[in-house]
Structure 1
Amino acid sequence: MAPINQPADLLSQVQDLRRQLDELRRTVGLSSATINRGGLSLLNDAFLKMINGSGVQVLYFGPDESGRQIIRIRRDGGSDVLWTGFTGNGNQFWRLTDRFGNRELFSDDTENGGIARPWLSVPMVPRFSMAASSVWGYMNLDAAALASETVLWVGRIPLVAHSYLNITGVWGRASGTPDTTYRVRLNGTQVGSWAVTGNAIEDLRGPWLISSFLDQSNVKVEVTAVATGAGAVACEVQGVGLRQTP
């Protein structure tokens, strides 16, 4: 007679042992594994995560709360290292951050391509002298010298890696009543312009889309001006910057 609670036939014993083994695996989990050739596939929105001894989730590959696939890597203390997310338009981006407040160090521009951050500046040099000017405080020229479009500033972008460009400076009337139109050109192609009919003002102009120049090297940046009327024209460039899609 078979022992109590013991399956009587061999097949039933094997099936019972398999059941117990499956239960043991579910209870204990996988403590170590080696994959020799082939790989590991996670299907149907499965996820992979790593939790350190302090209970911090330091690695996660899988769906977010909306079912979209993301990657998140954190330091032991919980601050982000690298993570992916989605813009309001549903485009996926990635960001590299520091451990102090998760400041964004590097990211991609998902709208037009290239880099989102960091923003980079373009060094510029003047193509004129204001030695004879009677107006001081900022760079300016007699409007008569700008009767036709004239290149005032020039610089070079070693490699265009951003989708937009803007410029900061002083524009408008330094004296008299000239009306001035300023333009920004890349390799001779106009990418932005603005007109000033009032007194000199220090401000930011742009940003202008330059994604058609992405990946081009040694791109020339020119700031030009053309003026009508008598007096002096402000023409001080304080900074040209590359940035992401606004």
Structure 2
Amino acid sequence: MPQLPEDIIDRLTQMERRIQQLSTAVNTRPALNTITGGEVEIKDGTLKVTDGGTLLVQRPGSTDTMFRVGSWKDAEYGLEIHRQTGSLAMTLFNGDGSANSLQPLRIYDNGNREIFSDDVNSGGLARPWLAMLPPQDSATARWPQTASTAWTTIALSYNPVWQPKMRLRLSTAASSGAAGQVRVLVNSAQWGPTVAAGTEFDYTDLISATFSSVYTTTVKVEIQAIVTSASGTVHATPVLMHGRQS
């Protein structure tokens, strides 16, 4: 068998050495489960957490949870968000361990007290409980009233503003043979139409043209009435009032 030139033998030896180095590097490479001083970018793709996995964000310098979504208990998947101080902010879970359970959305104050949740059984709002207008006196004679022939405030209230619109419904009346009108003022400016006494006032509109100017402030709502006949009495009473979205 003819001998190979020494330069070819040297090259084969170098190749063998490099292959061994590569093989050793592959077998000793650390697990890719930690990223330090870098970031992961997913472009035109999806990060999937499946089969009982969980995505977890911990608070700085702590092992406490700040954000967690994924496997919760047994077959249930859920979500929780904490403030960086550790207090609970929001959750979406049931806790029964079922993959088919109804999961209420809950929002908490800084003391971990539930301040908002939806009703998963019937729909709508579970908390907070909202005030409702109690039944009003149906005897016209006992309604707020005036015999003045000038605009007179016969009822008023003060309300904090959280929503941009308000709906207000009034029942109005006039004594026998009398005529008059009823209107509503919000912060001393007329809001809605002027209606004849004996007809219904039912109006929904923005509380202010600039919502930012009244948001979280307290506005004054007045019911005013006037007698337009020679004499008599005009009556009005609120029967519905609530805020709403724009």
Task: State the TM-score bracket (shorter-chain normalisation).
Answer: 0.5 to 0.7
- Measured in 2, the distance between the counterparts of 1:41 and 1:73 equals 27
How far residue 153 of structure 1 moved from its aligned partner, in angstroms, is 0.6
Contact 2:197 2:234 in 1 (8 A): no
Higher relative contact order (CA 8 A, sep 6+): 1
CA separation of 1:200 and 1:57: change in aligned 2, threshold 3 A: same
Aligned to 2:169: 168
Corresponding residue to 1:97 among 100, 109, 118 = 118
SS at match of 2:237: strand
Structure with bigger gyration radius = 2
Q: Supply the AA of the counterpart residue of 2:79.
A: L
Q: Which aligned pairs between 1:210-225 and structure 2 lie closer than 5 A? A: 210=208, 211=211, 212-217=213-218, 219-225=219-225
Indicate the RMSD between aligned Cα atoms, in angstroms. 4.4
> What is residue 3 of structure 1 aligned with on the other side?
none
Provide, for residues 106-139 of structure 1, a one-character-per-residue CA deviation record: whole Å limited to 9, x for no partner.
6xxxxxxxxxx8766799xxxxxxxxxxx84662
Displacement of 1:43: 5.8
> Residue 23 of structure 2 aligns to a residue in which SS?
helix
Structure 2's unaligned 5+ residue stretches are 1-16, 49-54, 56-68, 82-89, 96-100, 108-115
Which of 144, 147, 150 is matched with 2:149 structurally?
147
1:185–1:223 contact (8 Å) kept in structure 2: no
> Take 1:39 and 1:215, find their aligned partners in 2: how far apart are those partners?
43
Task: Look up the match of 2:103.
Answer: 79
Deviations 1:14-38 (A, max 9, x none): 344268x76xx7xxxx7xx8x9x98
- Distance of aligned partners of 1:181 and 1:53 in 2 relative to their CA distance in 1, 3 Å threshold: closer
Kindly indicate whether the alpha-carbon contact (under 8 Å) linking 1:180 and 1:197 is maintained by their aligned counterparts in 2: yes
Identity %: 13
Separation in structure 2 between the aligned mates of residue 98 and residue 40 of structure 1, nearest angstrom: 40
Q: CA deviation at 1:58?
A: 0.8
- When residues 73 and 98 of structure 1 are mapped into structure 2, their CA distance, relative to the original with a 3 A threshold, is same
Q: Secondary structure at the match of 1:205?
A: strand
Q: Are the aligned partners of 2:226 and 2:234 in contact in 1 as well (CA < 8 Å)? A: no
Separation of aligned partners in 1, 2:153 and 2:122 = 43
Tell me which residue corresponds to 2:20: 10
